Structure 1
Amino acid sequence: MTHNPSEVRTIRKVLVANRGEIAVRVIRTCRELGIATVAVYSDPDRTAPHVRLADEAYRIGPAASAESYLSVDRILAVAAESGADAVHPGYGFLSENAAFAEACSRAGIVFVGPPSEAIRSMGDKTAARALMEEAGVPMAPGTLDAVEGEQEAADAAAGIGFPVLIKAAAGGGGKGMRIVESPDEFVSAFNAARREAQAAFGDGRVFIEKYITEPRHIEFQIFADMHGGAVHLFERECSIQRRHQKVVEEAPSSVLDEELRARMGESAVAAARSCGYVGAGTVEFL
Structure 2
Amino acid sequence: MEIHDFDQLSSSQELVHTKSVLSIGVYDGLHFGHQRIISAAVSLARSHGDWKTVVITFAQNPKTMMGRNPFDKPLMSLRQSTDFFSNLGVDYLVVIDFSPDFSKLTGEEFIARCCGMFDVQAIVVGENFRCGSHADTGVVELQEIVPKYTEGASVCVPDMYKLNDGTDDSSTLVRITLTKGTVSEVPAQLGRNYSVDLAHIPSRNNEYPLRFPIGSFVQLLPPPGVYETVLVMANRSEWKMIALIDEEFLTLTSMTSPAPSVFHAGSVQAVRYDNLQFVKELT
Q: Give the TM-score normalised by the residue count of structure 2.
A: 0.31
> Higher RCO, 1 or 2 (CA under 8 Å, sep at least 6)?
2
More helix by percentage: 1
Q: Which has the larger radius of gyration?
A: 2
TM-score normalised by structure 1 residue count = 0.31
